[in-house]
Amino acid sequence: MAATTASSLQTFDIIILGATGFTGKHVLKQALKFFNNNKNNNLNFNSIAIAGRNQSKLTQTLNWATRPDPPPSIPILIADTTDPTSLRSLCLKTRLILNCVGPFRRHGEPVVAACVETGCDYLDITGESEFMDRVEIGYHEKSVKNGSLIVSACGFDSVPAEIGLLFHLKQWVGGCLPYRVEAFLSAESEKKMVGNFGTFESAVLAVADLKEMRLRRDAQVIKRAKPVV
């Protein structure tokens, strides 16, 4: 009997997992704007759903993301990162899981595993290097075999830095490559603390994993392709 894959049962183009979190609710808000602005264009993205542990909180988040307009009829699905069966069921319903559940060191790998198993594509907002290394080591070969794209580091602390670097590269003489890149960020807020608890927790866990990550990289467990010069 053939294995069931996401492509054979999928109902949605994107499911946002963890839509009630600090970042997840903003991802949902922007995703809805994208779908509304491009619904008449031929982008092959037609349907979206949100998922998480709490139906009531997901409903509240959907209302928040669309106010003052009434919320659209978007399916609300229940899934938990501690329940592999619920994650697999989620992956079978969609082309892409957009994962906003952190810290990823604790909650990310089960979602990746479910996506890889079912051939569903995976996108996340993490900036946690240890998690990304672990996923690359553990799931690269199987993800290639099953046709599952695993893409991390698409959040605030990653994409703007890369866009800034690409902009500067275009200003340089052709053929030049940077030896080192440094980025600086300043933030202004009326609050005493800029950020949220989830970001702080991820930072603490990153420091805790620093030694292990350095040992793994020094041992060259991860074989990455070098840039063509």
In this structure, are residues 64 and 58 in contact, taking their beta carbons and an 8 Å threshold? no
Per-residue pLDDT at 42: 57
Return the exposure string of 19-43: e unless at least 16 CB atoms fall within 10 Å of the residue's CB, then b: bbbebbbebbbebbeebeeeeeeee
Q: What is the DSSP string of 103-118?
A: -HHHHHHHHHHHHHHH
Return the exposure string of 51-71: e unless at least 16 CB atoms fall within 10 Å of the residue's CB, then b: bbbeeeebeebbeebbeeeee
Higher pLDDT, residue 1 or 164: 164
**Domain containing residue 160:** 1-220
227 domain-assigned = no
Residue in this structure with the two tokens 């990153």, named with its chain if needed: 206
Per-residue pLDDT at 49: 95
CATH of the domain at 13: 3.40.50.720
228 domain-assigned = no
Whether residue 36 has pLDDT greater than 80: no
In what helix (H) or strand (E) does residue 24 lie, and over which residues does it extend? helix 22-38
Residue 82 tokens read as 């501690």
Average pLDDT score over the chain: 82
Strands 12-17 and 48-52: parallel
34 domain-assigned = yes
Q: Structural domain tally of the chain?
A: 1
Handedness of CA 19, 25, 26, 29 (dihedral sign): positive
Q: What is the pLDDT of residues 85-140, one digit of tens each?
A: 999 999 999 999 999 998 898 899 999 999 999 999 999 988 888 889 889 989 99
The one-letter amino acid at 91: C
Q: What is the pLDDT of residues 168-217, one digit of tens each?
A: 888 887 777 777 878 787 777 676 655 665 565 556 666 666 667 666 66
Q: What percent of the chain has pLDDT over 70?
A: 75
Q: What is the mean pLDDT of residues 32-50?
A: 74
3 domain-assigned = yes
226 domain-assigned = no
What is the value of pTM for the model shown? 0.80
What is each CA distance from 127 to 99, 142, 144, 205, in whole angstroms?
13, 23, 23, 12
Residue in this structure with the two tokens 């699905």, named with its chain if needed: 77
Handedness of CA 202, 203, 205, 211 (dihedral sign): positive
